[in-house]
Amino acid sequence: MATKETYLYFGDNKGGDAAGDSLVVPASNFTGVDPITASTSRVSFQSLKGAPVDDDILFTHASGKYKELCETMAILMNSDKNGLVVVYDEDNLVTHPLLSTLGVAVTEIEITLA
């Protein structure tokens, strides 16, 4: 029996034509969200390459919105809509509506692959 899973898409503003420009990751690889500063947070996933360190996405967002970013990620990863969820795509100016609704106001992401 095939298992369905939610996949999350993140696109950095680099054209999506090289490693680290974008990332599609299964929600089951999620390891956590860490506050870095009042306006930056790191979302981490187990490395797609099996490395002992995580693949990370550094979000720059409205000040004090760490909790709301966590809430957004929890809702998106636990959605019963299996398939691809575009979280943030800087190249195509696509922001998941929940990020806007909760006032996260993402202005930039930076993808770091393990």
Q: Which of 13, 1, 7 is nearest to 89 (CA)?
A: 13
Q: Give the whole-number percent of the chain exceeding pLDDT 90.
A: 76
Label residue 1 by pLDDT band (50, 70, 90).
Answer: very low
CA 61 from chain centre, in angstroms, equals: 12
Enumerate the domain spans of the chain: 27-112
10 Å Cβ neighbour count for 2? 4
Q: Which of 76, 62, 50 is nearest to 108 (CA)?
A: 62
| Cβ contact 108:31 at 8 Å | no
Strand ranges, E, within 27-114: 30-37, 40-45, 55-60, 83-89, 94-95, 108-112
pLDDT score, position 18: 65
**pLDDT tens track for 16-71:** 666 778 999 999 999 999 999 999 999 999 999 988 999 999 999 999 999 999 99
pTM above 0.95, yes or no: no
| Cβ contact 90:16 at 8 Å | no
If you average pLDDT over every residue of the chain, what do you get? Answer: 91
